[in-house]
Homo-oligomer: A and B are copies of this chain.
């Protein structure tokens, strides 16, 4: 077992003073660390039927496809507004200040599909909750959620308590 936390770079006062940023690029560039992180996440869901893995633009595009590849599932991107080229479903969610929205292709998920949501970071859980609503609006089932890093003090897990939530590194 390698110490994955040792591969995460901690950057104080980024993006603003008082915030400690956990930079996973140092984990990503390490071949062994990358493989471990993907396999730990994927193995959690190995015994379940997973049809599709969803990743959220932009950093969520990194781990979700690798988990999809490992699980022999398909990959579905959830993107910022007006980026997807075909018919879209949209969901807005609250930020610390203001609102944002995410979109998915309407034909990306079929009714009854078992879907996994993978992202690098679980903070307040707002994006993941909105993504789950998008999946359900298209008739999909959220079989679980997986995160590389969980910031426990932000209590995102409480917002996602309707779903099995797994994270690798808790801070």
Binding site for B on A (CB under 8 A): 9, 11, 14-15, 21, 23, 25, 28-31, 34-35, 38, 51-52, 55, 57-59, 61-63, 65-66, 68-70, 72-77, 79, 83-86, 105, 108
Query: Are the C-beta atoms of A74 and B105 separated by less than 8 Å?
Result: no
Residue from A35, A51, A84 having most chain B Cβ neighbours under 10 A: A35
Contacts known (A21-B85, A62-B61, A66-B65); A108 close to B29, Cβ less than 8 A: yes
Tell me the bound Cα distance from A51 to B28 in angstroms.
Answer: 12
Which B residues are in CB contact (< 8 Å) with A84?
Answer: 25
Which B residues are in CB contact (< 8 Å) with A72?
Answer: 31, 35
Which B residues are in CB contact (< 8 Å) with A31?
Answer: 51, 68, 72-74
Which B residues are in CB contact (< 8 Å) with A66?
Answer: 65-66, 69
Tell me the bound Cα distance from A38 to B156 in angstroms.
Answer: 33
Query: Are the C-beta atoms of B76 and A25 separated by less than 8 Å?
Result: yes
Those 6 A-B pairs whose CB atoms lie nearest each other, nearest first: A61-B61, A29-B74, A58-B58, A28-B75, A66-B69, A31-B74
Tell me how far the C-beta of A153 lies from the nearest C-beta in chain B, rounded to whole angstroms: 20
> What are 15 A-B residue pairs whose CB atoms fall within 8 Å in the complex?
A25-B85, A25-B105, A29-B75, A31-B73, A34-B68, A35-B69, A38-B69, A58-B61, A58-B79, A62-B65, A62-B77, A63-B65, A65-B66, A66-B66, A69-B69
